[in-house]
């Protein structure tokens, strides 16, 4: 074999390697040649567009996909006009008529000054869009009221009292609290006990949506404002007369925060691309899981917006600051899952109580609820919850503490004797719990910065985002 052969072989190998890497990536990648024919189409792209690569590869893009009138393919724009486009939302259809919505980054490939192809890197937001739509559809369904808030501690009782007072006015509210402390529960309860109760309650997470989309979601659009824009009301209009919950306000860009401030002050909005002003009467409840003073210092919260919003500020206590509520909540959740799972769990044994009471609950009430739900998934006809029913993280704690105590050994034996499906179920839960825990920790340490947390966890940003969605963190 001469060197030339070797080179070709290593080129082929390199090519294969690159293609297999492309298939592992969690964003869609679509590359066309100078004729607009697809030459690279990775696995994620197949999922996003619900297509098989054989139906797309080596075909003219326009033979496979169709675009609405006035909308052209960003990929072809890059190819024909050499345009680099970032974070462009595009809605189009595959050859079976399925609607696809993506956020694209597109750029031309140039060689010696001429364009001989184009690359598109794609994130799928079809699901996200559906999610937003269902959120809006569910706007009347704010489920919680003060009766659902469990807690007997001093801290809880005083925050409930404060919140009840806030139901009498339309003033903006800022709710500050770690993840899982009940910010949503409080926001809904306030709405439902206010004069706005039979008007919409709409909640929108500011962190879940790319900035370019967020503005049109909040304020709406006028037809033709940008390619593909329709006459569409934003959430402010949808929530008119009611309450708009802006979750994770500290993730909203400073520019949008400024715009929000103007809207709150002027009580008017203008759809994007429109000159008409619409009067609105919406109560804003914003939440942040970060100390607002720190958020201001780190340029994640505008001071002027903070002053405007913090007319009423509710600081929700963490669960570890009100340990006396832990068992009360645990019994409440046992009751809830008894109903949901049609089970008859009556109590927890003492070691369970001790573990629950002593754990630090970084995920607060949500973590506690998941612990109980997870435990009840592992129970069969037992009436009393044992420590080995608890999620791995809590269970391990006991094991560590009781390292030399014989009962710990018995517990392990118990697990070994259980049937395989039970053990598998248990394993699945434990993996989920553990993963969730580490993700939450990493996010806490990175103050919610996804890229940083992903790095700390040794996973890609995309796979972290996937897990956040999967576990609804
Ligand atoms: N005081 C409480 N009584 C009963 N259930 C509660 C209470 N606080 C929270 N929960 C339950 O805990 C879960 C998390 O609450 P919620 O969604 O309000 O938290 P959050 O503060 O909005 O968290 P995140 O910042 O992660 O969005 C929900 O399932 C809710 O029902
Ligand atoms: Mg929330």
Q: Mapped to the 3 state alphabet, what secondary structure does 129-192 carry?
A: HHHHHHHHHHHHCCCCCHHHCCCCCHHHHHHHHHHHHHCCCCCCEEEECCCCCCHHHHHHHHHH
CB 85 within 8 A of CB 92: no
Exposed, middle or buried, 206 (CB in 10 Å: 0-12/13-18/19+)? Answer: buried
Report helix, strand or coil for 45: helix
Ligand 1, atom 27, residue with closest C-alpha: 179
Q: How many A from CA of 363 to the centre of ligand 1?
A: 10
Contacts of 174 (CB under 8 A, 6+ apart): 249, 285, 286, 287, 288, 292, 306, 309, 310, 312, 313, 314
Ligand 2 centroid from CA 168, angstroms: 23
The closest of 285, 281, 302 to 293, measured between CA atoms, is 302
Q: Is the pLDDT of residue 134 over 50?
A: no
C-alpha radius of gyration, the chain, whole number: 26
pLDDT at position 181 over 60:
yes
**pLDDT of 5 higher than 60:** no
Over 70: is that where the pLDDT of 128 sits? no
Residue bearing the bigger pLDDT, 84 or 160 = 160
Choice among 52-56, 152-156, 217-221, 467-471 with the minimum mean pLDDT: 467-471
Q: How far apart are CA 73 and CA 92, in angstroms?
A: 8
Residue 336 φ/ψ, nearest 5 degrees: -60, -45
Q: Cα of 367 to ligand 1 centre, how many Å?
A: 9
Smallest Cα–Cα separation from 236: which of 267, 190, 273, 192?
A: 267
What CATH number is given for 326-403 in this structure? Answer: 1.10.8.60
332 Cα nearest atom in ligand 1: 4
- Give residue 308's pLDDT: 92
Q: How far is the CA of 364 from the centre of ligand 1 (A)?
A: 8
The CATH code that applies to domain 433-473 is: 1.10.10
> Quick check: CB of 178 below 6 Å from ligand 1?
no
Q: Which residues contact 142 (CB under 8 A, 6 or more apart)?
A: 188, 191, 192, 201
Q: Is the dihedral of CA 415, 418, 422, 427 positive or negative?
A: positive
Whether the per-residue pLDDT at 407 is higher than 80: the answer is no
Q: If you average pLDDT over residues 151-160, what whole number do you get? A: 95
Q: What value does the mean pLDDT of the chain take?
A: 85
For 459-464, which contacts have Cβ atoms below 8 Å and span 24 or more sequence positions?
460/25, 460/26, 462/25, 462/26, 462/27, 463/26, 464/439
Q: Could you report the per-residue pLDDT of 298-314, keeping only the tens digit for each?
A: 999 999 999 999 889 99
Question: Using a 6 Å cutoff on CB, does residue 44 contact ligand 1?
Answer: no
Nearest CA to ligand 1 atom 18: 182
Q: Whose CA is nearest to atom 26 of ligand 1?
A: 179
Averaged over 143-163, what is the pLDDT? 94
- 153 pLDDT band, cuts 50/70/90, is very high
CATH of 3-124, picked from 3.40.30.10, 3.30.300.30, 3.30.450.20, 3.40.718.10, is: 3.30.450.20
- Nearest-atom number in ligand 1 for the CA of 369 is 12
Separation CA 132–CA 43 (nearest Å)? 26
Topology agreement, domain 129-317 and domain 433-473: no
Query: Where are the chain's structural domains?
Result: 3-124, 129-317, 326-403, 433-473
Of 60-64, 93-97, 400-404, give the range with the top mean pLDDT.
60-64
Q: What is the pLDDT of residues 10-44, one digit of tens each?
A: 888 888 888 888 888 888 899 999 999 999 999 98
**SS3 category, 17:** helix
Split at pLDDT 50, 70, 90, the class of 4 is: low
For residues 239-260, average pLDDT: 94
| Dihedral sign for Cα atoms in the order 45, 48, 50, 56 | negative
For residue 156, the ligand 1 atom closest to its alpha carbon is: 1
Confidence band (pLDDT; 50, 70, 90) for 1? very low
Find the 206 Cα to ligand 1 centroid distance in Å.
18
pLDDT at 456: 79
Expressed in angstroms and rounded, the spacing between residue 100 Cα and the centre of ligand 2 is 28
Atom 13 in ligand 1: which residue has the minimum CA distance?
366
Atom of ligand 1 nearest to the CA of 473: 26
The arithmetic mean of pLDDT across residues 363-369, rounded, is 96
Q: What is the pLDDT of residue 352?
A: 95
Which residue from 196, 300, 296 is spatially nearest to 256, judged by alpha carbons?
Answer: 300
Residue 289 C-alpha to ligand 2 middle, in angstroms? 9
Q: How far is the CA of 153 from the centre of ligand 1 (A)?
A: 16
User: Is any ligand 1 atom within 6 A of the Cβ of residue 365?
Assistant: yes
Q: Which of 144, 206, 365 to mutate to test the pocket of ligand 1 (most atoms within 8 A of CB)?
A: 365
Q: Would the pLDDT of 246 be above 90?
A: yes
Tokens of 235: 């959430």
CATH class, range 129-317? alpha beta
CA angle 386–390–396, rounded 5-degree value: 105
Q: What pLDDT is stored for residue 226 in this prediction?
A: 78
Q: Which residues contact 12 (CB under 8 A, 6 or more apart)?
A: none
pLDDT digits over 276-301, tens only? 999 999 999 999 999 999 999 999 99
Separation of alpha carbons 33 and 373, rounded Å: 52
Instruction: Check residue 409 and give its pLDDT.
Output: 31
Which are the contacts of 290, defined by CB distance < 8 A and separation ≥ 6? 176, 250, 300, 447, 448
For range 99-117, the mean pLDDT:
87
Is the pLDDT at 443 greater than 70, yes or no? yes
3-class state of residue 98 by DSSP: coil
Cα–chain-centroid distance for residue 34?
Answer: 38
Residue 467: per-residue pLDDT: 81
Provide the pLDDT for residue 425: 57
Percent of the chain at pLDDT exceeding 90: 52
- Residue 413 pLDDT: 36
Q: Could you give phi then psi for residue 16, rounded to 5 degrees?
A: -65, -40
Lowest mean pLDDT among 220-234, 256-270, 329-343, 406-420: 406-420
By alpha-carbon position, which residue is closest to atom 16 of ligand 1? 182
Task: Report residue 99 as tokens.
Answer: 């609607």
pLDDT average, residue stretch 334-348: 93
17 contact partners, CB below 8 Å, separation of at least 6: none
Which of 125-134, 250-259, 452-461 holds the top average pLDDT?
A: 250-259
- 236-245 mean pLDDT: 95
DSSP 318: P
Nearest Cα residue to 58 out of 75, 43, 36: 36
Cβ within 8 Å of residue 396, ≥6 positions away: none
Going from the Cα of 398 to the center of ligand 2, the distance in angstroms, rounded, reads 30
Q: Phi, psi (5° rounding) for residue 107?
A: -150, 150
Q: Which atom of ligand 1 is nearest to the CA of 182?
A: 18
Q: Is the CB of 181 under 6 A from ligand 1?
A: yes
Q: What is the pTM of this model?
A: 0.62
Interhelix angle for 392-401 vs 406-417, to 10°?
A: 140
Q: Which ligand is nearest to the CA of 182?
A: 1
């Amino acid at each position: 074999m001469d060197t030339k052969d070797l080179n070709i072989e290593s080129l082929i190998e390199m090519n294969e390697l690159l293609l297999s890497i492309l298939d592992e990536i969690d964003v869609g990648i679509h590359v066309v040649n100078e004729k607009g024919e697809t030459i690279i189409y990775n696995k994620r792209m197949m999922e996003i567009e619900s297509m098989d690569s054989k139906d797309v590869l080596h075909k003219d893009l326009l033979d496979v996909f169709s675009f609405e009138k006035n909308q052209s393919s960003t990929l072809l724009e890059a190819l024909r006009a050499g345009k680099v486009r970032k974070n462009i939302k595009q809605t189009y259809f595959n050859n079976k008529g399925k609607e696809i919505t993506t956020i694209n980054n597109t750029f031309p490939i140039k060689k010696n000054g001429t364009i001989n192809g184009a690359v598109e890197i794609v994130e799928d937001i079809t699901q996200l869009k559906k999610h937003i739509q269902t959120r809006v559809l569910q706007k009347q369904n704010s489920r919680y009221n003060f009766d659902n808030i469990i807690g007997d501690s001093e801290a809880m009782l005083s925050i409930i009292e404060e919140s009840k007072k806030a139901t009498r006015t339309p003033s903006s509210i800022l709710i500050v609290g770690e993840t899982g402390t009940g910010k949503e529960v409080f926001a809904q309860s306030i709405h439902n006990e206010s004069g706005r109760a039979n008007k919409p309650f709409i909640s929108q997470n500011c962190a879940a949506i790319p900035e370019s989309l967020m503005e049109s979601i909040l304020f709406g659009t006028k037809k033709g404002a940008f390619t593909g824009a329709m006459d569409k009301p934003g959430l402010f209009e949808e929530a008119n007369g009611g309450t708009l919950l802006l979750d994770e306000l500290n993730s909203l860009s400073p520019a949008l925060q400024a715009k929000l401030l103007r809207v709150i002050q002027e009580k008017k909005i203008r759809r994007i691309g429109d000159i008409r002003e619409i009067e609105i009467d919406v109560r804003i409840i914003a939440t942040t899981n970060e100390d607002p003073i720190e958020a201001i210092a780190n340029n994640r919260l505008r001071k002027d917006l903070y002053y405007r919003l913090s007319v009423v500020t509710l600081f929700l206590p963490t669960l570890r600051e009100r340990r006396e509520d832990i068992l009360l909540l645990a019994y409440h959740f046992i009751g809830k899952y008894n109903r949901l799972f049609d089970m008859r769990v009556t109590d927890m044994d003492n070691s369970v109580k001790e573990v629950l009471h002593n754990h630090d609950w970084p995920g607060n009430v949500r973590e506690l609820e998941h612990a109980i739900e997870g435990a009840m998934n592992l129970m069969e006809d037992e009436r009393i919850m044992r420590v080995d029913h608890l999620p791995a993280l809590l269970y391990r704690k006991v094991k560590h503490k009781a390292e030399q105590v014989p009962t710990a050994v018995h517990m392990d034996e118990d697990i070994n004797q259980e049937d395989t499906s039970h053990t598998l179920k248990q394993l699945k839960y434990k993996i989920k719990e553990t993963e969730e825990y580490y993700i939450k920790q990493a996010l806490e340490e990175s103050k919610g910065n996804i890229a940083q947390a992903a790095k700390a966890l040794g996973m890609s940003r995309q796979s972290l985002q996937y897990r956040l969605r999967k576990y609804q963190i």
